[in-house]
Amino acid sequence: MASTDTTGTATGKGPARSDDLAGLEAGLDALDAVQVNRTPVREVLLKKVLPPITAVALVLVAWQGLVWAEVAPDYKLPAPSTVWDGLSDMWLQGTLFEVIWTSVSRGLLGFLLALAIGTPLGLLVSRVRFVRAAIGPVLSGLQSLPSVAWVPPAVIWLGLNDSMMFAVILLGAVPSIANGLVSGVDQVPPLFLRAGRTLGATGLRGTWHIVMPAALPGYVAGLKQGWAFSWRSLMAAEIIASSPDLGLGLGQLLENGRNNADMPGVFLAILLILIVGIAIDLLVFSPLERWILRSRGLLVRS
């Protein structure tokens, strides 16, 4: 171990020192290794599932309480049980999934279209300075324009059909998706770009191998918002533009409830719209986002 004498021959000390170093390094690695462990199922149920169920139960109890207290006549405030009856009626008639699917299929197809347009648009805005200066501000401004505003012109241009719905979805979701990507690209640490350039990732290869994956967290946040905007725009379009040719979606269900002064139907439609929106987010976007953040070590466990 005494290796302070600098006059000793290098060849004599070489191999012994090398073994030494390997052992030392293995020790350091073991001491410094970062432990990553998964949460047990019981704890997940207790910490993640129980609280929202409690919240929903409390809302139902409060609702039933208001009904019992008769704060409003029952044509304004229906009891939870009548809304439930409406749901089981639709289930028994077999129309429940048909109505949900009409809207969800429109929404998802429109969202995929928005994805296909918003992604290249976002890349263009983030990477080409002229394009950014030209349409960047308009693109972020469009996010504050309620997509309902696009329904009247869309009806006039395209008529009462599915393409008008898609147009409204696109105008709502494309700016969100593009803006998400732009802010994702803006937040890419310059160090990654420099490291990429020294490895030879320039131009399109740099965009594909470095910029896009580095911008993924911002991009997925944009997708999440894009879905919320798609769903909202679609409901606005379905409520305003009803026509027998369009088929019965959740928006029309709500509008029909209003026309028939059927308050349980209105409540049911609102709840279904809410539940579908949350379900898609919980089943698709949240797992995607969590997986991306966790694999990069960005998810801080509380």
Partner 1 sequence: MATAIAKAEDRVGVEHEYAARIGHVSKSFNGPTGPQLVLDDITLDVAPGEFVTLLGASGCGKSTLLNLVAGLDRPTVGSIETPGGRPALMFQEHALFPWLTAGKNIELALRLRGVPKGARREEAERLLELVRLGGAYGKRVHELSGGMRQRVAMARALAQDSRLLLMDEPFAALDAITRDVLHDELTRIWRETNVSVLFVTHNVREAVRLAQRVVLLSSRPGRVAHEWTVDIDQPRRIEDPAVAELSVEITEELRGEIRRHGQH
**Positions in the binding site for partner 1 (CB under 8 A):** 3-4, 6-10, 13-14, 17-18, 21-22, 24-26, 28-29, 32-34, 36, 191-192, 194-195, 197-201, 205, 209-210, 213-214, 216, 292, 295-298
Closer by beta carbon to partner 1, 216 or else 235:
216
**Tokens of residue 258, six digits:** 């209003």
Give residues with Cβ within 8 angstroms of 91, minimum separation 6.
none
- Smallest gap, in angstroms, from Cβ of residue 27 to partner 1? 9
DSSP 233-251: HHHHHHHH---GGG---HH
Closer to partner 1 by CB, 22 or 271: give it: 22
Nearer to partner 1, 26 or 274 (CB): 26
Query: From the CB of 178, what's the least distance to partner 1, in Å?
Result: 21
To partner 1, the closest distance from the beta carbon of 292 in angstroms equals 8
At residue 3, the 3 state secondary structure works out as coil
Give 239's contacts (C-beta < 8 A, 6+ positions apart).
251, 252, 254, 255
Q: CA 221 → CA 153, 180, 199, 269, 273, distances in Å?
A: 29, 6, 29, 27, 21
Angle at CA 197, nearest 5°, toward 194 and 199?
A: 115
Phi, psi of 245 (to 5 degrees): -65, -20
- Which of 142, 114, 145, 175 lies closest to 236, judged by CA? 145
* Cβ-contact 207, 193 below 8 angstroms: no
Least separation in angstroms between residue 184's CB and partner 1 is 12
Nearer to partner 1, 39 or 95 (CB): 39
Nearer to partner 1, 197 or 258 (CB): 197
Which one, 58 or 195, has the nearer CB to partner 1? 195
CB of 234 to partner 1, least distance (A): 32
Least distance in angstroms from the C-beta of 121 to partner 1: 23
